[in-house]
Chains A and B, each alone.
Chain A
Amino acid sequence: MADDSGSEPGEEVATPRQPEAEMAYGCLVSYSRRQKVIHPTRDRWLRTASDLLEDGWNMCVDVTSVDFLSYEGRRQVPADVATERFEVVASFVSYEKRERIRARVQVPADDATLDSLYSIYPGTDVLEREVYDLMGIEFVGHPDLSRILMPEHWEGHPLRKDFDTGAIPVQFKGSPASR
C-alpha cells in the first residue's frame, strides 16, 4: 500500500542520482545491504507508523537511536533526507509478509523530541524509555517517560557521543563522593 500522496515537493529537482526515488508509506526508501529502510520525516512519524500498522506490520520489535555527532563515514540516507545529529530507528515485523522494515527518523539536536509510538504500538513503552534514558530523546505523548536503566537521579545520557567514558565519579544517593 505505497502511499504516493505524500507531501514531498520538488523531488525531481534534487540530485538526479536515482532516476525515480522509491517511495513507501509516503517516505523515501533506501536499502541497506538487503534490508529495506524507510525515512519518514519527523512530522509524519505517527502517520507513518499508523500506515504501517494498517498495512499489516503488526509488531514494532525494536526502537533504538544513534548519535551521529562524531560520525566520520558517509551517512547512508537518500539524497533528499536532511541529516540531523540524532536518529531514531524502529524495526517492524509483519507476520503475514514474513518481512522486516526499518524506519529511520532524523531528530535534531536542538529539539530532541519525537512523537511517541505508544498510542499506536504500545509495545514500544520500555524501548522508548530506554532511548530517552540513554540517548536523551524525549517522546511526546509517552505515558511514563522516566529513566529505566540508569538511576533516576542520574545526570546526562550515557549513549550520547559527548558523554565522557573516562573516569566518572560514581553517583550514588547520599554518597559523599557524589556531587
Chain B
Amino acid sequence: MTVTENPTTNDDGADRPLASQLHLLPRRNSVLRMSEVRAAELADGDPIEGEGDQTMLVNMGPSHPSTHGVLRLMLEMDGETVRRSKPVIGYLHTGMEKTGENLTYLQGPTNVTRMDYAAPFFNELAFSLAVEELLQVEIPERATWIRMLMSELNRISSHLLFMATNGMDLGAVSMMIYGWREREQVLRFFEMVTGLRMNHNYIRPGGVAADLPDGWRDEVLALMDMLPPRLEEYDTLMTGQPIWRDRLQGVGTLTPEEAIALSATGPILRSTGVTWDLRRDMPYLAYDQVDFDVVVGSYGDCFDRYAIRLNEIRESIRIVRQIVEKMPKGDYRVQDTKVTPPPRARIDESMEALIHHFKIFTEGFKVPEGEAYVAVESPRGELGCYLVSDGSSKPYRMHFRGPSFVNLQSMSHMMADSLLADCVATISSVDPILGEVDR
C-alpha cells in the first residue's frame, strides 16, 4: 500500500485539500517498514537490498537488559548510526481485552491491573471510572480521595522505578539499588493497605475494596519525610553530574509538533514544552481541589524526560501531603446493594444481604447499555478505557488505550540518525511498560 501524502477527496463536493499533520513529522521515513519474515530472511549482517551496501539490519532484544522486558528493536544500521528502526512488540500479548469480555465488572479490575504492572492503580482507576460513568453512580468523597492518594503514591513508585532503570541503563548502577529501595518503601505501604505489593485489585467500581487501615496517616507522612532527602541524593548522584548530562542532553530529541502529531502523551509530550496534564486540564477525581504544578521541559530530550519525572515525584509528594490533610470521613464505597457487596458481618444476620452477596459474586451487577471513554493521567501518559455495555453483567467490549503503546511509535523518530549507544538512553527515557504495550 502506498501513502498518499496530500490526499484530496471530493465526495462532499469540496475540493479543498485535507488538513494534515504529516508535514510535522520530518523524520517519518525513519520508521522501518519491514516485516519480521523479511527481516528473518536477511542473514545476520547482510546488506539491505536497494539501499546499496551501506546499511545492515541489527536486532536489539527481545531479551536485552535495556529493553525493559521484551521489546525488540529492528535497527537499520549505517556503521554506528541508526538510520531507520522499528519496534517489534507483541511478545507479552495475552489478549487481556478479550479476556475482559468474559469477566464481570467486579472481576474486571483483577484483569486490567496486570496491564501496566508498574502503575496498577491507574488501570483499576480508569476501568472503575468508566464503569461508574456507565452506571452513573456518584462515589463517596472519601473513596475519591483514597483513590487519589493511592494514584499519587503509585505515580511516585512508578517514577522511582524509572529512576532505577534509567540509571541502570546509563551506567549509574548504584542508582538502580537506590531507586528500588525507595520504591520498596512505597510498595510496603501498598501492602499495608491492599494486602499486595502489586496487582492490587483495590480500586473497584463503586469505590475501593477496603478502608485505609489504622495508622495510615503516620505511614504516609513518614514516607513523605523520607523521600525528599533521597531525591536530593539523586540530584547529587545524577542531575548535576557532567557525565550524566552529556549522556542525556540533546539525545533523543522530539519537537512539540512531532509529539502532538505522534499522539504522544505524558512526560514525553511535556518534555517538549507542551503543558498538558489531564489532572489539571480535564480534572477527574478531586484534582481540582489540590494545588500542584505541571512540570514541563524545553528541549524534548532524554534529560528533560528524566528531570520531569524526578520533579513529578516532588509534585506528587506535594499532592499527597494535601490529601493527607484533607482526607474526608465517610464511606469508602457506595452503599448501593446492587453494586457493592454487603459487609461480611451482615451476611450472617440478613437474608437480603446474603442474596445480594450471592448475586453479585455469581452473576455480577448489570450495567446499563451504552459506551464511555474515560482517561486518566498515568505516569506514562493518557491511559484511556473504552467500555461498551450491552446491559449484561460483563463488558461487551473493553479497550485500553495504553500510553506506552502509543508512545512507543515516537521512538523511531527520536532515534533517527543517532548513535546505537544513544538508543539505550532513548528507550529508557520513553519508559515503556511492555505489559501495557502488548496487553
A76 at the binding interface (Cβ < 8 Å): yes
Contact status of A100 and B263, CB under 8 A, knowing A72-B392, A119-B5, A121-B21: no
Q: Which residues of B contact A51 (CB under 8 A)?
A: 19
Of the 9-residue stretches B8-16, B55-63, B75-83, B194-202, which lies at the interface with chain A?
B8-16
The answer to whether residues A89 and B261 also contact, given A121-B21, A123-B409, A158-B95 and a CB cut-off of 8 A, is no
Q: Looking at A35, A50, A165, which has the most chain B CB atoms within 10 Å of its CB?
A: A50
**Which of A53, A54, A124, A150 sits near B90, CB closer than 8 Å?**
A150
Contact of B396 among A64, A66, A147, A150 (CB under 8 A): A66
B397 close to chain A: CB less than 8 A: yes
The reply on B389 being an interface residue by CB < 8 A is: yes
Given contacts A47-B12, A61-B401, contact A121 B263 (CB under 8 A): yes
Task: Out of B4, B281, B384, B409, name the residue touching A61 (CB < 8 Å).
Answer: B384
CB proximity of A137 to chain B, nearest CB, Å: 14
Q: How many B residues touch the partner, as a band?
A: 35 or more
Asked whether A159 is an interface residue with its Cβ less than 8 Å from the other chain, the reply is yes
With both chains docked as a complex, state the minimum distance between the C-beta of A106 and any C-beta of chain B, in angstroms.
Answer: 14
CA of A135 to CA of B281 in the docked complex: distance in angstroms?
Answer: 32
A118 contacts B93, C-beta separation under 8 Å:
no
B399 touches A64 (CB 8 A): yes
A-B contact count (CB 8 A): 177
Does residue A20 face the partner (Cβ distance < 8 Å to B)?
no
Judge whether A74 is part of the interface by a CB distance below 8 angstroms: yes
A85, CB-defined interface residue at 8 Å: no
B20 within 8 A of A: yes
B50, CB-defined interface residue at 8 Å: no
Q: Which of B5-32 contact A (CB under 8 A)?
A: 5-7, 9, 11-14, 18-22, 24-25, 28, 31
Interface-centre pick from B265, B373, B386, B391 (highest chain A CB count, 10 A): B373
Q: In whole angstroms, what is the CA distance A99 to B276 when docked?
A: 12
- From A5, A100, A126, A143, B3 is in contact (CB under 8 Å) with A143
Q: In chain B between 44 and 90, which residues have their CB closer than 8 angstroms to a CB of chain A?
A: 89-90
Q: Is A152 on the interface with B (CB-CB < 8 A)?
A: yes
**Are B263 and A59 in contact, CB atoms less than 8 angstroms apart?**
yes
Q: Are A50 and B12 in contact (CB under 8 A)?
A: no
- Tell me if B409 and A59 are in contact (CB < 8 A): no
Known contacts A7-B12, A126-B406, A152-B37: A120-B21 contact under CB 8 Å: yes
Interface size on A, residues (CB 8 A): 66
Residue of A nearest to B396 (CB): A71
Contact indicator B369/A73 (Cβ below 8 Å): yes
A123–B133 Cα distance when bound, in Å, is: 27
Residues of A within 8 A of B6 (CB): 119
B161 interfacial by beta-carbon distance below 8 Å: no
Q: Which residue of B lies closest to A89 (CB)?
A: B386
Complex: A51 Cα to B90 Cα, angstroms? 34
Please measure, in the bound complex, the distance between the C-alpha atom of A69 and the C-alpha atom of B386, giving whole angstroms: 18
B388: Cβ under 8 A from any A Cβ? yes
Partner of B12, one of A44, A62, A158: A44
Q: Tell me the complex Cα distance, A41–B409, Å.
A: 29
The residues of A that contact B369 with a CB separation of less than 8 Å are 73-74, 76
Report how far A158 CA is from B101 CA in the complex, Å. 12
**A46 contacts B18, CB within 8 Å?**
yes
Residues of A within 8 A of B3 (CB): 118-119, 141-143
A90-131 interface (Cβ within 8 A of B): 91, 95, 98-100, 102, 118-127, 130
Residues 254-278 of chain B, each 1 if its beta carbon lies under 8 Å from chain A, else 0 = 0000001111110000000010100
Interchain Cβ contacts under 8 Å between A and B, 5 examples: A46-B7, A47-B12, A95-B281, A126-B405, A127-B406
Known A72-B390, A120-B19; further 15 A-B contacts with Cβ < 8 A: A7-B13, A33-B134, A33-B370, A53-B19, A61-B401, A61-B406, A73-B396, A119-B4, A120-B21, A122-B28, A127-B263, A148-B89, A149-B439, A153-B37, A159-B397
